[in-house]
Chains A and B, each alone.
Chain A
Amino acid sequence: MGVGGVVHVWVVGLSHETADVSIREAVSLDAGLVRQELSKLAAEGAKESAILSTCNRTEVYAVGATSDDALELARSFFHSRAGADVEPLLSRGLYAHQGEAAARHLFSVASGLRSLVLGEAQILGQVREAYRLAAECGAAGPVISHLFQQAVHVGKRVRSETGIGQGAVSVSYAAVELARKIFDDLSGKGILLIGAGKMAELALKNLADHASPRIWVANRTLAHAEELARTFGGEAVPFDRLEEQISVADIVIASTGARKPVLSQEMVQRATRKRRGRPLFIIDIAVPRDVEPGVHELDDVFLYNIDDLRAVVEANAAERRLHLPHAEAIVAAEAEEFGRWLRRRVADPMIRALREKFKSTADHEIERLLRRLPSLAENEREQVRALSHSIVGKLLHDATMALKLSAEQGRHEEVFRLVAEIFALDTGAPAEKRPAGQESDGKSEKGGASGSRLALFRPEEGTAS
């Protein structure tokens, strides 16, 4: 057992930002393979490990006895996994981060800041799943557990405190969002589907997902309309009653294969007269368009075609980028906190040794005393023992705090040496060797903390080659 329990945690990985799909697919794993690789890592000497593998990234988190061990373990995964044709390309795609920087990396991944679609939520579930797999295989010890649990916490926090996950980023969901911006609640609203197509069905499905709207389906062939109506639990409407239906519907989704507009401006105008200003949202996803553009100029009518919806998606993406600095500030603060936690752990073995020493001394003396007091009943003996433990605990409380603090502040070497000397702790570690190793760790973590974001995600030179 060492005096200082320095925790060496590294992440090595590659993602859509650093490697193209031919490399990513070579190292991508399913759940079964992740389990296999985790036990392999454990066999090779990893104290703790976890693997995050999605279609956009594969990352190995490893905790080792020394910094080099941890890094080597994590890196060797990629080199053994990648085939001969991909292996030479690896060095350019791999990035590696240690300690606090590794935490910051995982936190920003979990928050969706490193995702292809900024702020997407799926990754948070994947991070949770990676942790679940590691825990299941017994690969997740205290460090990996804390790291991943914090990552999930940070991911949730970033999403709730910033707008990074808001706004639809797909066309069909953008339609739903617009509908909600107009009608608020979609339940009880009437949706008229004109024509059919994959996009239209998707849009309808998304709309219906959020509420239970009334659905009408109109099609040139009534049989087809009836069939669609059955699938969506709606009502078929003959094509010649469109105008009538528009005057009652709230949302119209048009996607026929017609060469000419199906809804003319006059027709919609006549229909809106009966609506008394009730808003009408028309989604035209057909190309060529089904609805005359002039319809949009009518009062209380909102006509969006496929390009308009794409523009909405664009605007949402820009809106998400607006929240990036705030999200990154949260991630940085949480990573710093994790860094402090890591540094405090340096004191754990020392605290254990101290506690052990105090407790065994107390136990020894108490048992001697108890042997001289045979008249005590068993429950009284228990009370005496409990008292001695609570005295030890109270006596050591301040010392424990001080040791943790000294570790957090990086001035633990001197303190540990003194404590070991004063209490004659047998730490069994070569006291001279340790400070050098810790010194360099402390520096590299600090460097990571103050480095720019770019520097952080650039493969660190010399570590990944």
Chain B
Amino acid sequence: MKRNLFLKILFSYLVIVSLSFFILDLLIKNEIKKVMTGKIEAELLTYAELLNLNSAQKMSDQLKQIARISSSRVTLVDAQGKVFADSEKDIAKMENHLNRPELQEAKLRGKGKSIRFSSSIGIDMLYVAITIKEGSEIKGYVRLARPLDDVQSMIEKVYQSIFLAMMIVTVIALVIALIFSYRLSAPIRAMERFTERLRQGHPVGTLLLETADETKKLADNINYLLDELQSQIRLANEEKSKLMTAFTSMTEGVLILNTEDKIEFVNQALSNILSEQYGDINGKTLMEAFRSVDLQKAFLEFKETRINVSREITLGNIEPVILNVSISAVQGHPEEEKTMIVFHDVTRLKKLEKIRIDFVANVTHEIRTPLTAIIGYLETIKAGAINNINETKKFIDIILKQAERLNRLVEDLLTISKIELNEIRFNFENVFLSDAVTNVISIVEKKATSKKITIENNMPEKLRPVRADRDRLTQILVNVLDNAVKFTPESGKVIIAADETDAHSVVSIIDTGIGVPKDEIQRLGERFYRVDKTRSRDLGGTGLGLSIVKHLMIAHGGRMEIESQFGRGTKVSLFFPLHKV
């Protein structure tokens, strides 16, 4: 950069210098020639006139002297052109001179001159001639000739000085060019360094220049652009971080495909939904990553129509995830459209929907069963059985039993909905779990004895009291214990144990009953959920017992956990929170 600038400036200087010398040369050379020649000419003419003052004989005699004084060659020519005297050459060998231009000119105007290249000496010669007259008759000519080497040497001398001057000027030009280019390029270099550092991404401040010319303006512009750029970058970064935060914190899974349909971005939520099952899917195609025929079909449909596609797909066989997928284009450059796919996990929603539908179906079913029985027996009585007192008594017993069951059902339903609506008043007090358990055992003992089931109370005496509503606590324990007795075959065993941790008192009711299949355990708290649909209704349950326990435990700030082995027995653990002393 600097070198370039320097060379450019130097070159232009040199052009100017040499051009001026060239013109100088043109002008001076001719001028010098003209002036010198004129001077010599006048001198020679003077000598010729002086010579002409004498007679012809005298002239011949004085020839050599004149030639020496005037340092020129003197030739006398007669009117016919015959040379009759010459200061240097032998006249006998000389040819007729009448046709020489200087003589011709003299013949016409009285004096003449001519500059010719003398082949004998090898330089330009100046010839001057005047006429020798007697009256008006031309008797002959006097001619003086002098080589012009004086002029030449004079010119050479001048040229020498000019050359010297040129050398000096060139050196000065070189120095000036050096200084000038340095001064000129210094700000440019500063800007260059500045922009270079900027390009490499080093932090830069503002560009400061000490000049006040155009470069200063340029520097100002650079500073301005830099400011613009930085604020743009800041803005873009802010936008980006906003988007990234949105993407990472949203519950929907987001995936972006690049122009080659490969996965470019996956947000945290989607990774969670996929739960590491699919590994690192970045850089893969949709098909490679998900292997879902439905998803691929939806994507192909989108690619063909470029219209947003929304679809419900199921991923995985063992633990299926139901996803609501919507595919749309990311508006960018027209040539490179990316695709965004949003995954909405609706597995839970679908499950809840199913529970709700099941609930409605269950409620109607549970209510209808006793009603059908009641109506059926009432109709029988009406149709004539009323006359048979014994039969009627039996029927009324059944009707009563069914009505009681209906009542129980409605009461249970009411309890649940009250708990759910927070309408139940809890009267919390300090209760000793061992007291409550002893109390409950006495309630279910009768039923247990009839099935020959032993209830083993392993409650430690020294448990800290828990905060609970005494009646609700009894309800919880009755429900669980009743279940345990109900689902344990004859001569089985129910064990009640308790444990205490820092945060909880845990009451466990363990039975040797029929147990629950593993994949149904988590559905146990659902309303009306029955593991064995036919059997449990025979046992007189409403299908709401555990659901009520679950809700009441939550209301007490605790929880219920169930472990079970199918065919071996079930363990229900009730976690009551302990308040820190």
Tell whether A and B belong to one assembly. no
Residues of chain B at the chain A interface (Cβ within 8 Å) = none
